[in-house]
Structure formats: structure tokens, C-alpha cells
Amino acid sequence: MVDNSNFLGSYPKTRLRRNRQSSWSRDLTSETSLSPSDLIWTIFVREGENVSESIPSMPEVECMSIDLMVKRVIEAYDCGIPAVAIFPKTPEHLKTEMGDESTNPDNLICRAVIALKKSIPQMGVVCDVALDPYTSHGQDGIIEDGQIANDATIEILAKQAVVQAEAGCDIIAPSDMMDGRIGRIRKELDHYNFKNVQLMSYSAKFSSSFYGPFREAIGSASNLGQADKRTYQLDPRNSDEALREVALDLEEGADMVMVKPGMPYLDILHRVKKTFAVPTYVYQVSGEYAMLKAAGEKGWLNSDDVLMESLKSFKRAGADGILTYWAVEAAKKIQKA
């Protein structure tokens, strides 16, 4: 280890406040930067035309029909945001025990991707691969004999990834946390000549209580009921296990990895980036967004300031990019700064 003691200086010869005394000096000496190109806007899409619905637990976030979504994504692109991640609110009558709608090439998410790519082809599109928006029980996999069936589930996930790629999806993002799904999806994509479609794996996705508003938004909360996902999502007490998950996904062909949630897992984010030095992303999940917004509405915090601070903390911890519901607002603030 290098001994830095001779370079640290001491007071009064060294005064660290000198570099903080003006805005331009703080900018020159900043160690972390945040730009619109670091942001992936997470959005919800629903059936219908010219219709949107608010999400009570997520202030200022709406679930939009495809036509309205396209207009908003064009706005996001104009703000410098390079990609969007789309999540569907599947109609209840289309949900089944096997999540059959997930592999329908004419499903809501595929139509949304087609519309986006037609209107704004230069915008990157990220699609979630998991069964929870499509299953009548709200789990990310299919159930056999009362348990989540890993190997049977990944066969469906592979088919789901292909129909999304056929629609024009640029980045397939499996969030299911089944063992072996990255290798199986990569094999299926390559088989159908989608060799250039990228894989962003939710490698370190924890079994978190911060997902509640998201499940409300996509309509899976009532389907899941009192059940949980602890048999496949990571235990919040574990850190080394998260690194093992990342290592396995990279070996199977992941192009980039993700840590989810964000702020409660900055240590995991930092370890992943330092250990593997691969493109590493973080998801500022619905519960994080909701609690900061709610505190702002109560007047306890300035929600804009704390949301911006949280995004900077992700970059400081090592994130190459951030999935956030607040991307458009953040991009506008960055541009005005």
C-alpha cells in the first residue's frame, strides 16, 4: 500500500476549504459528474388510446397508453436521455398461471417497442424479462408443486426475450433471478440471429420491501398477495453472494449488470464495480422514489434536491448508468445548471 502521509498536508498550510469557496472551483475539483446520458427513464405502459392513469404511491408518475408514451419519450430524448426501460400493465384477463401473454409477439410491450422504434429509432429501448406482469399469481416464474420451477421458467423467459428482440428491443434485461437464465437467453437470441441484442442482467436483485409501488403500478401486487420472492431474489443480509451472482451472469454472457435497489445497496454497487470493472447499472426503485417524493409533499425535505443528491451518490459509488422514474426532471435540471 502506498504511504500518502507525506502528501496530505496539515493546517494551516493546507486549507481544504479553499477549493470549496466558489462554484467554478467546486466544479473544477468535483470527483463525480452526472449528465443526462447517465440516465435510463423507467416508464409504465397500458392499453388504450390517449389515456394515462396516475399511480397514487408514485407522485407525478403515470401509466400511459402507447401513443402518449411515444410523445413523452420524444421529450426525454430531446433532454439528452439515451434509453428508456418499459414495463407493461397487463390486463387482468390476460394473466395466467404460466404467463402465456409474455411470449405473445403482439403483446402490449412488443407493440410499445414497435411504436417507439418507428417514431424515434435512435432511442435505446430496454425490456424487462420476467413473468410477474403476466402471471395470475404475481411470481416471476411458474409454479410447480408449490415451488418456483427454475428450469421450466427459463425456457419461457428465453422465448419472451426473442419476441421482444423481434419487436426491436435493444437491451434485454432479465429481472427474474432464475439460475442459468442469462446463458439460456443468450443462446436463444443467438439462435435467432439476434447476436447484437445486449443483455443487461439484474444480477444483484435483492428481496426488498422497496418494490411495493412498482407492483401497484403493473398490477401484480394483488396477484402476489401475502406471498414473497425470497426463494429466488437475494437475501438483503448478503454481499458476497451478490458478487457470485454477477460472476455467473458475466460468464454466461451478460454485457452489463445491475444492482437493485439503489440507495440501501450502495456498498454492493461499489463492490461490483471495483471487482469486475464492467458496465454496471443501478435501479432507483419505486419505493426509493416514493419516499423522497412523499417527504417533499410533507414539506420535510426538498424532494428535487434529495433526488438529485441520490443520483449523484449512485455515480459516486460506481454506477455507469441509473434507471430512475425521475430521469426527465433530472435531465432538465442538469441542463439548466
Active site residues: 205, 260
CA distances from 228 to 95, 154, 211, 261, 286 (A): 18, 19, 11, 16, 17
- CA pair distance 67, 49, nearest whole angstrom: 6
Pairing mode, strands 143-144 and 147-148: antiparallel
Phi then psi for residue 289, to 5 deg, are -60, -45
Alpha carbon dihedral 274, 276, 279, 280, in 10-degree steps, equals -60
The amino acid present at 83, given as its one-letter code, is A
- CA pair distance 70, 88, nearest whole angstrom: 14
3-state helix, strand, coil in the chain (%, to 5): 45, 20, 35
- CA pair distance 188, 170, nearest whole angstrom: 15
Q: Is 219 exposed, middle or buried (0-12, 13-18, 19+ CB in 10 A)?
A: buried
